[in-house]
C-alpha cells in the first residue's frame, strides 16, 4: 500500500455560519461545543477544491487557514477528513424520515399479519 505523506497548503475561508446547538441536540441527544460551520477553498495540483468543518470560534471570510491534503485523493484534507462534514442537517432529516417510513410499514405488516 502506497502511503505518501500529505501535502501542506493554505486554504481561504469562503463563509462562516453559526450552527444552532438545537439541531445537534435533536439529532444526537447532546449539544456540541463546536458552533460555527466554516467553508473553505484550497488548490491542489492546480485544481480548486472545497471543504467544510466545524469550529468553536468564528473565522472571518477570506482568512487563510493551514491544512494538508492527500496527494493521491486531493479532495481529502485534514480539515474535513474523518469528520461528519457529509452528515448535514438536511441529510440527517432525510434519514429520520426514511427510518420513520420503514418503521411504519413494518408496524403495518405486523398488525395486518395478526388479523
In tens, the pLDDT along 2-38 reads: 678 999 999 999 999 998 765 544 555 555 566 899 9
Q: What pLDDT, on the 0 to 100 scale, is given for residue 22? A: 56
Task: Please say whether the beta carbons of 49 and 28 come within 8 A.
Answer: no
Residue 84 predicted with pLDDT over 50:
no
Mean pLDDT of 79-85: 64
How far is it, in rounded angstroms, from Cα 113 to Cα 35? 48
Q: What pLDDT, on the 0 to 100 scale, is given for residue 76? A: 94
Mean pLDDT of 36-48: 96
Amino acid at each position: 500500500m502506497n502511503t505518501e505523506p500529505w501535502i501542506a497548503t493554505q486554504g481561504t475561508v469562503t463563509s462562516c455560519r453559526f450552527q444552532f446547538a438545537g439541531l445537534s441536540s435533536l439529532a444526537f441527544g447532546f449539544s456540541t461545543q463546536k458552533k460555527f460551520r466554516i467553508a473553505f477553498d484550497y488548490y491542489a495540483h492546480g485544481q480548486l477544491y472545497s471543504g467544510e468543518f466545524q469550529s468553536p470560534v468564528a473565522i472571518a471570510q477570506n482568512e487563510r487557514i493551514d491544512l494538508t491534503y492527500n496527494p493521491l485523493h486531493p479532495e481529502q484534507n485534514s480539515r474535513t477528513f474523518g469528520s461528519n462534514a457529509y452528515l448535514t442537517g438536511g441529510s440527517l432529516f432525510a434519514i429520520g424520515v426514511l427510518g420513520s417510513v420503514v418503521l411504519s410499514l413494518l408496524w403495518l405488516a405486523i398488525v395486518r399479519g395478526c388479523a
